[in-house]
Structure 1
Amino acid sequence: MLARLAASRFNEIRQIFRQVFRPFPLPFFSLPFHITDFFFKLFGFPLSQPSRAFSTALNYHLDTPDNNPKLPWEFTEANQAKVKEILSHYPSNYKQSATIPLLDLAQQQHGGWLPVSAMDAVAKIVEVPPIRVYEVATFYSMFNRAKVGKYHLLVCGTTPCMIRGSRGIEEALLKHLGVKRNEVTPDGLFSVGEMECMGCCVNAPMITVADYSNGSEGYTYNYFEDVTPEKVVEIVEKLRKGEKPPVRTLAMIYFIIVHVLETYTFLDY
């Protein structure tokens, strides 16, 4: 993420230099930029590429019939018990520290996205102005401010996965499902998004499947590593049939072989 941010900022600075020094025949300023362009185009990812956008992480709000402050929203009875358990981890005068886990719970309950009324409910629980919760929800791309599918497929887009073919994996998913990035399929089952590094670079490329099909009670968030365009299509079809694709990763298999772990996933480790 930092590398992509640095590349984006460097591109902006480069454009400024080009505009400022264009009238002057100064090869000192032009040569490095041309070399940089050549180098990045040679390897397939020029700095001039457009910035990626996480459209499910909207940083603004417009009232709609299904997303406005007038719609009632509250945690279910089962989740209210979870709210109390979450709050118990923090001093009573630091309830705001529970904002992120409560937003995560609200998102799970609401089918994978956060309406403004859910954020207002969280703000009331942690006793802060609603704007403080809005700031958190719009800062982190893991919080979806727009509807997603019951199975939200997140493709890692950072450097190791990109070099290992994550763009082809995303294209395969979008083509197979017949949607654009962050669009939901007509049956409401699937959506495809992009996510920053998920920490499994050794087994790149990888995707994550956020399963909101059974609410917060059945919510799962599984990694699938060392995937190919063919494998991700197989994962989609198994999910469509109601099956649970195996989530064993190369890291997990390695641990089993050397008898370090037996039935644990890399996340458990």
Structure 2
Amino acid sequence: MKISHVKQDINITPELQARIDELISHYPADKRKSALLPVLHEVQDAHDNWLSIELQDKVAEILNIKPIEVYEVVSFYTMYNQQPIGKYMFEFCRTSCCAIRGAENLMDYTCNKLGIKEGETTPDGMFTVVGVECLGACGYAPMLQLGDYYRENLTEEKMDALIEECKNGQVKLH
């Protein structure tokens, strides 16, 4: 996935700051960095599901750690997005069980249907398609994650229906 620099408004609301403070409180005062993963999740959720460099810098400031310590984590884990993504991000599992059961063909089918390549977002900002490592639902392959939920035993017909449900606003993400 190509990373381009896009400006992002940083909005640490009082409610978000309270949630961050609550997460930090679960760790010893001298181990604030331990809260990094859950804090990144909260901050990303509050900022259109992506983390700009400036927002990562803000997280480093809040946790009193070096920005590189945040960059290392954000760039390592696929659950953190470094650029704007679509409202609906189809994260296709591409490891062995799903691959054997046709996940890569299904991901290609979905990309073709949406007119994008893997890692891209549709021009209307609705959909992003990415391949990710094992999502731990091997018995239900091929599958994908959409928001907080898994979609399992996928077929082209099920993908067509899912895309239509998303377009109609019928899909719950959280």
Q: Above 0.5 in TM-score?
A: yes
| Separation in structure 2 between the aligned mates of residue 111 and residue 120 of structure 1, nearest angstrom | 17
Q: Which residue of 2 aligns with 1:164?
A: 101
- 3-state SS, counterpart of residue 99 of structure 1: helix
Q: Which has the higher contact order (CA 8 A, sep 6+)?
A: 2
| Separation in structure 2 between the aligned mates of residue 81 and residue 132 of structure 1, nearest angstrom | 23
Give the alignment partner of residue 45 of structure 2, picking from 98, 105, 108: 108
Give the alignment partner of residue 229 of structure 1, picking from 145, 153, 156: 156
Q: Offset of 1:189 from its aligned partner?
A: 0.8
**Does residue 90 of the first structure (1) align with residue 27 of the second (2)?**
yes
Task: Assess if the C-alpha contact under 8 Å between 1:169 and 1:229 holds in 2.
Answer: yes
Query: Of the two, which has the highest radius of gyration?
Result: 1
Q: Which residue of 1 aligns with 2:69?
A: 132
| Separation in structure 1 between the aligned mates of residue 97 and residue 121 of structure 2, nearest angstrom | 27
| Separation in structure 2 between the aligned mates of residue 74 and residue 241 of structure 1, nearest angstrom | 29
Q: Which residue of 1 aligns with 2:136?
A: 199
Task: Assess if the C-alpha contact under 8 Å between 1:86 and 1:98 holds in 2.
Answer: yes
- 3-state SS, counterpart of residue 153 of structure 1: strand
| Separation in structure 1 between the aligned mates of residue 82 and residue 63 of structure 2, nearest angstrom | 20
| Separation in structure 2 between the aligned mates of residue 80 and residue 193 of structure 1, nearest angstrom | 31
Task: Assess if the C-alpha contact under 8 Å between 1:148 and 1:182 holds in 2.
Answer: no
**Does residue 150 of the first structure (1) align with residue 77 of the second (2)?**
no
| Separation in structure 1 between the aligned mates of residue 17 and residue 59 of structure 2, nearest angstrom | 11
- 3-state SS, counterpart of residue 174 of structure 1: helix
| Separation in structure 1 between the aligned mates of residue 168 and residue 11 of structure 2, nearest angstrom | 32
RMSD over aligned Cα atoms: 1.6
| Separation in structure 2 between the aligned mates of residue 158 and residue 193 of structure 1, nearest angstrom | 13
TM-score (norm 1): 0.61
Equivalences for residues 173-252 of structure 1 within 5 A: 173-210=110-147, 221-244=148-171
- 3-state SS, counterpart of residue 170 of structure 2: coil
| Separation in structure 2 between the aligned mates of residue 141 and residue 230 of structure 1, nearest angstrom | 27
| Separation in structure 2 between the aligned mates of residue 184 and residue 72 of structure 1, nearest angstrom | 20
- 3-state SS, counterpart of residue 194 of structure 1: strand
- % of aligned pairs identical? 37
Q: Offset of 1:85 from its aligned partner?
A: 1.5
| Separation in structure 2 between the aligned mates of residue 195 and residue 174 of structure 1, nearest angstrom | 15
Task: Assess if the C-alpha contact under 8 Å between 1:172 and 1:233 holds in 2.
Answer: no
Task: Assess if the C-alpha contact under 8 Å between 1:74 and 1:121 holds in 2.
Answer: no
- 3-state SS, counterpart of residue 164 of structure 2: helix
Q: 5+ unaligned residues in a row in structure 1: which ranges? A: 1-54, 211-220, 246-269
Task: Assess if the C-alpha contact under 8 Å between 1:174 and 1:181 holds in 2.
Answer: yes
Q: Offset of 1:72 from its aligned partner?
A: 5.9
Q: Which residue of 2 aligns with 1:42?
A: none
TM-score (norm 2): 0.92
Q: Offset of 1:222 from its aligned partner?
A: 0.8
Q: 5+ unaligned residues in a row in structure 2: which ranges? A: none
- For residues 23-64 of structure 1, the C-alpha deviation after alignment (integer angstroms, 9 at most, x for no partner) is xxxxxxxxxxxxxxxxxxxxxxxxxxxxxxxx16x5xxx6x4
